[in-house]
Amino acid sequence: MVKDYSQYPTHLIAVDCIIFGFDGRNLNILLVKRNFEPKKGEWSLMGGFVNADETLDQAANRVLTSLTGLENIYLEQLNCYSEIDREPTARIISVPYYALINVDKNIKINKKYSAKWFSLKKIPELIFDHNKMVKDAVTRLQYRASTRPIGFELLPEKFTMKDIQNLYEAIFDEKYDKRNFISKINSLGILLKTEEKDMTSSRKGSFLYRFDEEEYNKKISNGFMFKI
């Protein structure tokens, strides 16, 4: 016998995307201006409802692609936000995801959303509980970046040691000693040094590196622990 669920309440399920990008100095977040009431004209995370024919992951990918035009981006489910009064119009449960975007990629921001990048240090007041989502996402990102090489998702394919240091300083909001940091990164053994140089930093230039994913996976299979 098929059970009748009509006696139970129905709720709307939404996904919100906390989109991080790194500009070489600052860790930024991509926000949109809400174009409908309530809170029309205020800053918000990019979000949308989960369709009947898609999973949460599929919905988050769809929402991200509709804003940035990008696919196959690092996305991780963050949490579930289900406060009864989190939105005034309906009972909406949100499952946010955070995304890591390399801003050097061919990003085609959809103009209809009036999107804008903000430094994490200068985020405006967001609608509903979106500020809390961002705060929780930063905490998760810091944890992941200290135990997995996900930070490289925010960098171009080739980068300098200074780029890596700037990135980790931005993620953790702290300064590192250059010599100690480089020594630590080199000790991980997961970077490939190229023969190319970035000549914009100095006369001598700085060697460019690449993340060696194949070597990293080998190390992981042998019990390697990534730790920054």
For β-strands 12-22 and 92-94, DSSP reports them as parallel
Which pLDDT belongs to residue 83?
Answer: 96
Q: If pLDDT is split at 50, 70 and 90, which confidence band does 123 have?
A: very high
Which pLDDT belongs to residue 173?
Answer: 95
In angstroms, what is the C-alpha Rg of the chain?
20
> Helix/strand/coil (H, E, C) string of the chain?
CCCCCCCCCCCEEEEEEEEEEECCCCEEEEEEECCCCCCCCCEECEEEECCCCCCHHHHHHHHHHHHHCCCCCEEEECCCECCCCCCCCCCEEECCEEEEECCCCCCCCCHHHCCEEEEHHHCCCCCCCHHHHHHHHHHHHHHHHHHCHHHHHHCCCCECHHHHHHHHHHHHCCCCCHHHHHHHHHHHCCEEEEEEEECCCCCCCEEEEEECHHHHHHHHHCCCCCCC
> pTM of the entire structure?
0.94
Q: What is the mean pLDDT of the chain?
A: 94
Domains of the chain and CATH, by start:
12-147 (3.90.79.10), 155-221 (1.10.10.10)
Residues 28-78 have pLDDT tens digits of 999 999 999 999 999 999 999 999 999 999 999 999 999 999 999 999 999
